[in-house]
Amino acid sequence: MHQMHGTGETGAVQPAIELRGIDKRFGAVHANKEIDLKVDKGTIHGIVGENGAGKSTLMSILYGFYQADGGTIHVDGKLCDIKGSEDAIAAGIGMVHQHFMLVETFSVLENVILGVEGGAVLRDGVDKARVELERLEREYSLDIDPDAIVGDLSVGLQQRVEILKALYRGAEILILDEPTGVLTPQEADHLFRILATLKEQGKTVVLITHKLREIMAATDNVSVMRQGAMVADRKTAQTSPEELSELMVGRRVLLRLEKGEANPAATVLHVNNLCVDNAQGVRKVKNASFTVRAGEIVGIAGVSGNGQSELLEALGGIRSASEGSVLLNDQDVTPGKGVDAAELRKRGVAHVPEDRHRMAMVTGFTAKEAAILGYEDDPAYNKGILLDWNAISKATANMMSEFDVRPDDPDLKAANFSGGNQQKLVLAREIMRDPELLLVGQPTRGVDIGAIEFIHKRIVAMRDAGKAVLLVSVELDEIMSLADRILVMCDGVIIGEVSAAEANERILGLMMAGVDPNQAKAAEGQA
Amino acid sequence: MEIFQIGVLLLDATLRTSTPLILAALAGIFSERSGTINLALEGMMLGGAFSAATIAFYTGNPWIGLLAAIATTIGLSLIHGFACITQRGNQVVSGMAINILMSGLTALVGIALFAQGGKTPALDKASRFQPITLPGAEAVRDVPILGPIYFELLSGHNVLVYIAFFAVPAAWWVMYRTRFGLRLRAVGENPGAVDTAGISVVLMRYRAVVCSGVLVGMSGAYLSTAQGASFLQDMTAGKGYIALAAMVFGKWRPFPALFACLLFGFLDAAATRLQGVILPGIGEVPVQLVQALPYVLTVILLAGFIGRATPPKALGRAYVKER
């Protein structure tokens, strides 16, 4: 029935991919529940869902990384038994993984031919491969030097190598898993142009993402997954971001954060010509100067790896400053000179680090242990030389109810909470100390939409309570909806500042690529 | 002329002392380029040396001894591979376990078989690899300069020495010019790339450790049936570790590793030659100091002078498909 309905509606002969009743469990986790999916030939098909909805698992099954427990895969109408990646490749399926599967020390050409070398001795295949690669590059306008070493290429170019790899293997169906996570908006636009070219050439593209903007901009059809089940199929033209987010979460979600005007008061944080070096002695932050006032949220945008992390870690007291100074309420707190993370906490700086698992909590700890990390010498948590577990349990329960952490069990292992609930617990730990300054990095990385909404509201509430907030995020949407002022970093330098009112993706994207803010704004004016 | 003679003899000795290092270092390169740390070279060399000497003694044929050595080291490599690749165990621990095991096991079996305190019986001429005189060597022997170089330095080594030096370009060719080499290097850098290309990571790594076994087996056989005439307890005396140092020093590449091996071999040869020699201004060089030189140099070189040696990225990490 379902099939007939599909065929009648699209008029297509055969769907490129059809999944019937795909089921997969990992122990107690039911990752994919009887999934049916149909992807029409020559279309761009989006799959959206929250983190952990089962999108990646489903695609890994299609690409032969995992075996489904039940169900069948049909490619071009033919039943396919996909036992490993080689079967998927043979069936014409190519995949661009979220974390690139490239050998960084190899050249582009070597990466492309790996696995399809065309003979036991490389020389036999390489010349043919070079010709074929040049043809593909022309056909899909994927400019790239075949002899460049992949490790030297930018992330955007590395992604092109991944696409070329799939095309070189004769892929008719290309799956992209969260392809824009590491790209600037301009690079992402370029990627979507490439995908459009692929579609024109008759290829089928499956795009997995959690960014609704990309779904709306690039796809023909979209399927929504929630908690391991496929909950809806829509034509992109006939749906809206609001409907999709509601389908993803299962209830209505506010996409645009509602917040009032900021009322900035006295300067809380004053950073002067701060320079920070990494462990290898490479200067990661170069002469950063800015202020954060009470009652405002200052956002730092930038492509991941441009010095934001080091800046945040320095301000949190984890990394020493090489040059420059930091003032907190006019007192010198330059990190490194007797000022460490513990000292900063005493002075009212709360820090939610970027990497939850590496820095913010110990996943092997119970929730109540995680909830006092960094504050374990607080007299309220101690009785003599022993920890006062009753008080700690009570405090943790309080944090959990205040921040809606589920399940609200202080004795549950931190690892057993979902990403969103872990993050809420970390935020509760830091925010409920009532700090003067909140440093927060990637507050919603790996967090589902429902929890994002909650976390954003709490950060705005901090601001409205007259606290200073410094936010570092690589998600432009997040920066634009939260921050009152936005600083953009590129290659360790603060390129410039944009107010929330004048910020948009284009300007920020240009600045993230290192374009002078005035030029960026001028370019915007012309466009 | 005197100094020239000494120089030629010293280099001649260098070739002989560096041969086992070259074979073992290449063995290390094959294993580690595929992502498996191979600290077991020392123990495998010992096992190979013991098997070669024992089988050559029973059969009277060094070639059968060599095959036995290779079979032994392939077996040990598969054990190491099973622990590291299949069971995803700690690769350093597995390597050290093999070293300790072989140190004890060779002595134990040696005593059980021959009751000579862990030694194997001395091999007669026919049971050892004999020097090969290259064509025309006798004829040019008396030609000045070139004569000694050809006759003393290049000619008159046993076949394993020539194999070792031939193995270096061969290993380079396999590593950089063949499909097998491309995949082997890839699996040591990013096994995910190999897996998604539809190639078995596990199989690739096993093939690499087997290559490693073949090479280190020859190195063991060289010690007991070519350079020496019997197996002695712990006769490798750290050569496996020196070979590893040469591999790191050579940044996991065949030709640079060859030069590192030659350097270590030269120091070893010089140490032997310098014993009891009175140097002007210094006096008699203490034997112990000279013997310690290769090791001291290894430490110094590894500590600071090799620059940035970037090991294969996935070295030491078992491959697990990520969720």
3-state secondary structure A113-167: HCCCCCCCEHHHHHHHHHHHHHHHHHHCCCCCCCCCEHHHCCHHHHHHHHHHHHH
Any idea what the Cα angle at residue A445 is, between residues A443 and A447, rounded to 5°?
Answer: 95
pLDDT for res A66: 87
Overall average pLDDT of the B236-253 stretch? 91
pLDDT category at A8 given cuts 50, 70, 90 is: very low
Residue A347 scores a pLDDT above 50: yes
pTM of the model as a whole: 0.79
* Residue % of chain A over a pLDDT of 90: 54
Distance CA A32, CA A51 (A): 13
Give the pair of three-digit tokens for residue B111: 């005593």
Per residue in A204-227, pLDDT (tens digit) is: 999 998 788 889 989 999 999 988
Task: Kindly identify which residue of chain B lies nearest to residue A101, measuring between CA atoms.
Answer: B193
Q: How far is B179 from chain A (nearest CA, A)?
A: 5
| Interface predicted TM-score (ipTM) of this complex, two decimals | 0.88
Q: How far apart are CA A228 and CA A53, in angstroms?
A: 5
Q: Please tell me the distance in Å from A119's CA to the nearest CA on chain B.
A: 7
Percentage of chain A beyond pLDDT 70 is: 96
Q: Are A125 and A117 in contact (CB under 8 A)?
A: yes
* CA-based torsion, A316, A318, A319, A321: positive or negative: positive
B153 — contact with chain A (CB < 8 Å)?
no
Chain B residue with Cα closest to A31: B323
The pLDDT score that the predictor gives to residue B171 is 97
In A242-319 the beta strands, taken as DSSP E runs, fall at 267-277, 283-293, 297-301
Interface touch A104/B313, C-beta < 8 Å: yes
Which residue is closest to A84 within chain B, CA to CA? B198
Tell me which residue of B223, B240, B214, B209 sits closest to B67, measured CA to CA. B214
Is A523 near chain B, with CB under 8 Å? no
What pLDDT is stored for residue B286 in this prediction? 78
Q: Can you name the residues that pair with A204 across neighbouring β-strands?
A: A173
The separation between the first and the last C-alpha atoms of chain A, rounded to the nearest angstrom, is 49
Count Cβ atoms below 10 Å from residue A248 Cβ, excluding itself: 24
**Distance, CA of A435 to CA of A316 (rounded, Å):** 13
Compute CA distances A394 → A360, A378, B309, whole Å: 21, 15, 53
Q: Using CB atoms, pick whichever of B182, B185, B323 lies closest to residue A117.
A: B182
B3-9 average pLDDT score: 85
Contacts of A105 in chain B (CB under 8 A): 185, 189, 313
Q: What is the pLDDT of residues A48-63, one digit of tens each?
A: 987 778 888 899 899 9
Nearest of B278, B230, B280 to residue B114 by alpha carbon: B230
Out of A86, A102, A119, name the one closest to residue B190 (CB).
A102
Interchain pair B199, A122: CB under 8 A? no
Amino acid making up residue A497:
E
Name the pLDDT band for A133 (thresholds 50, 70, 90). very high
**What beta strand segments (E) does A168-248 contain?**
173-177, 204-209, 221-226, 229-235
Amino acid residing at B37: I
A116/B190 Cβ within 8 A: no
pLDDT at A1 over 50: no
Tell me, yes or no, if B196 comes closer than 8 A to chain A by beta carbon. yes
Question: Which of B185, B198, B313 comes nearest A115 by C-beta?
Answer: B198
Q: How far is B206 from chain A (nearest CA, A)?
A: 17
How far is it, in rounded angstroms, from Cα A292 to Cα A194?
41
In this complex, the residue of A87, A105, A121 whose CB is nearest that of residue B177 is A121
Alpha carbon distance A381, A390 (integer Å)? 9
Which two tokens mark A499?
């107010």
* pLDDT over 90, % of chain B: 69
Q: Sign of dihedral through CA atoms B226, B231, B236, B237?
A: negative
Comparing CA positions, the residue from A180, A159, A184, A182 lying closest to residue A511 is A184
pLDDT digits (tens, 9 = 90+) for A68-113: 999 999 999 899 999 888 999 999 999 998 888 999 999 999 999 9
Asked if residue B219 has pLDDT above 70, the reply is: yes
